[in-house]
């Protein structure tokens, strides 16, 4: 089997073609979305993450994050050999704000780099005033231009110092340090920031860093793409997710008890939200869909809504899955004002007979096989899957307030593409319109969706994939606005 080839048979190419066919079968109504189709309090914005755009990784007092360390330790694992410069938004943030204003968005989701304000990860290690001042300046610049900040406290880049000190997210001490860092953010920026996201995609942190070993801290015991020298793919992803859930709930309680009444904000978490369809009509494949949804989305939503992990996870993982105390269950249950959903794709899934299961690892525990391939996971867009996912959330998780905190397409960088084609970007615009149409239909069906953020403002450092993936509204090398799509958000047809 080729590296990263899908486990699904027939071939993953056929599965992708099936989804691509569904995508292409859209109707013209999907392209006629209007601002008036959404309520006046529905938020439109774009998003970024500090580690993907800021650069200046060794400047202005910043300490190393796990990603800074990973890039230096494993440069061969970054497909284009990218370094820590990224697109230099730390120094060019005013240009970013101007681009946001030109686009016409009303909100901007960005993340704070933990090690830019706490270089060693802890209060006792010292506060970096230059970092504090930078985010004050960014927030003030946004507000001056009529743009509402949505701030992510942790977006994949915890301090390397905490990994060196006690194992990072694997250790429960992480919960206390994350609480201290979050409290500093609330105290410093909460007078102006009214929308907080505790953690972005804990699932990705747990799976990629501790099961597959393809992201920091590169731990695994069952090899995926790269070999690991340490780790346990059977237990560590579950421990990491457990600690991230408790860190989230602890910070939400802190915010609600100490800051929310005075500051008047809201707080939530962003979860990765792929949707799955059964590869066949068999009862086994339909059951596989339920299991994989439990093992991905339900891994977090069940504790957040009901206080404990899905029963299927306990049945399959048994004592490798950590347990919550009664006090922790109470802490977790309802620990959000909104749920952020990052949706990019829908995949096919089929049942994997237990007799053919691989070595013990999180990735095999659900006994499912999907059509994920080595191609970018964002290539196959399927807007209808977003509507189905949102309606699934309504039916299974008490219809929470939802904000689409990421959605978009990522393509390989193509410098040979003609400039006028790149600037018009019709494929991206149509994709956004079709997803907005599906959000509109989900709202019509009673789902409580209150916002949409496109990923991303800029072409950026797409983690291990490469430095510049085509994913943003602006072109990284020239800071040119790629299209005027979002200018129409406040009036008229979005496709005009």
Report the catalytic residues.
Answer: 201, 406
DSSP string computed for 417-458: S-HHHHHH-HHHHHHHHHHHHHHHHHHHTT--EEEEEEE-SB
Contact 336, 304 (CB under 8 A): yes
CA 131-187-117 angle, to 5 degrees, is: 20
Compute the distance between CA of residue 246 and CA of residue 148 in angstroms, rounded to an integer: 28
DSSP string computed for 460-475: B--TTS-S-BB-SSEE
Compute the distance between CA of residue 280 and CA of residue 351 in angstroms, rounded to an integer: 10
Helices 236-258 and 299-306, packing angle to 10 deg? 40
What is the b/e burial string over 369-389, where b = at least 16 CB atoms within 10 angstroms of the residue's CB? bbbbbeebebbbbbbbbbbbb
- SS3 of residue 229 by DSSP: coil
Compute the distance between CA of residue 72 and CA of residue 414 in angstroms, rounded to an integer: 26
Closest Cα to residue 459, out of 407, 409, 419, 406?
409
Contact 404, 343 (CB under 8 A): yes
Q: Sort strands 338-342 and 346-351 into parallel, antiparallel or unpaired.
A: unpaired
The DSSP letter of residue 45 is E
275-278: strand order across its sheet: 275-278, 346-351, 368-370
Compute the distance between CA of residue 197 and CA of residue 152 in angstroms, rounded to an integer: 5
Closest Cα to residue 158, out of 202, 196, 124, 223?
202
Helices 236-258 and 173-189, packing angle to 10 deg? 40
Check the CA dihedral 200-72-228-469 and report its sign: positive
């Amino acid at each position: 089997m080729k590296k990263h080839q899908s486990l699904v048979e027939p071939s993953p190419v056929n599965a992708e073609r099936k989804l691509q066919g569904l995508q292409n079968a859209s109707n013209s109504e999907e392209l006629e979305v209007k601002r008036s189709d959404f309520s006046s309090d529905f938020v439109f914005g774009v998003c970024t993450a500090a580690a993907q755009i800021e650069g200046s990784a060794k400047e202005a007092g910043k300490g190393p994050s796990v990603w800074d360390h990973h890039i230096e330790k494993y440069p061969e694992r970054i497909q284009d050999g990218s370094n820590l410069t990224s697109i230099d938004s730390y120094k060019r943030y005013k240009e970013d704000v101007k681009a946001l204003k030109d686009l016409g968005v009303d909100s901007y989701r960005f993340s704070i780099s933990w090690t830019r304000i706490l270089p060693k990860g802890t209060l006792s290690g010292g506060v970096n005033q230059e970092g504090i001042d930078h985010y004050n300046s960014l927030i003030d610049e946004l507000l001056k231009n009529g743009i509402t900040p949505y701030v992510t406290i942790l977006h994949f880049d915890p301090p390397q110092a905490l990994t060196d000190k006690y194992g990072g997210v694997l250790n429960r001490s992480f919960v206390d340090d994350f609480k201290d860092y979050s409290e500093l953010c609330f105290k410093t920026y909460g007078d102006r920031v009214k929308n907080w996201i505790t953690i972005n995609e804990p699932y990705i942190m747990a799976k990629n860093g501790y099961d597959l070993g393809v992201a920091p801290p590169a731990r695994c015991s069952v090899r995926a793409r790269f070999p690991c020298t340490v780790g346990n793919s059977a237990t560590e992803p579950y421990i990491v997710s457990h600690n991230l859930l408790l860190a989230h709930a602890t910070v939400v309680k802190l915010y609600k008890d100490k800051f929310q009444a005075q500051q008047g904000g809201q707080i939530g978490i962003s979860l990765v939200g792929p949707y799955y369809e059964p590869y066949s009509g068999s009862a086994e494949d339909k059951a596989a869909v339920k299991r994989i949804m439990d093992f991905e989305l339900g891994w977090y939503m069940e504790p957040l809504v009901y206080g404990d992990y899905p029963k299927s996870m306990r049945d399959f993982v048994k004592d490798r899955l950590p347990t919550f105390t009664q006090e922790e269950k109470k802490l977790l249950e309802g620990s959000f004002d909104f749920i952020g959903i990052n949706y990019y794709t829908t995949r096919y899934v089929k049942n994997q007979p237990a007799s053919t299961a691989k070595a013990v690892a999180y990735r095999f525990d659900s006994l499912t096989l999907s059509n994920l391939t080595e191609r970018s996971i964002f290539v196959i867009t399927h807007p209808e899957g977003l509507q189905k996912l949102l309606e699934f959330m309504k039916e299974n998780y008490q219809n929470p307030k939802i904000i689409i905190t990421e959605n978009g397409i990522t393509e390989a960088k193509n410098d040979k593409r003609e400039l006028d084609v790149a600037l018009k970007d019709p494929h991206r615009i149509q994709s956004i319109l079709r997803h907005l149409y599906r959000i509109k239909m989900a709202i019509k069906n009673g789902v409580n969706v209150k916002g949409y953020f496109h990923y991303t403002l800029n072409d950026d450092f797409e983690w291990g994939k490469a430095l510049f993936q085509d994913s943003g509204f602006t072109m990284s090398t020239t800071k040119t606005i790629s299209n005027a799509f979002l200018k129409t958000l406040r009036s008229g047809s979005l496709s005009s």
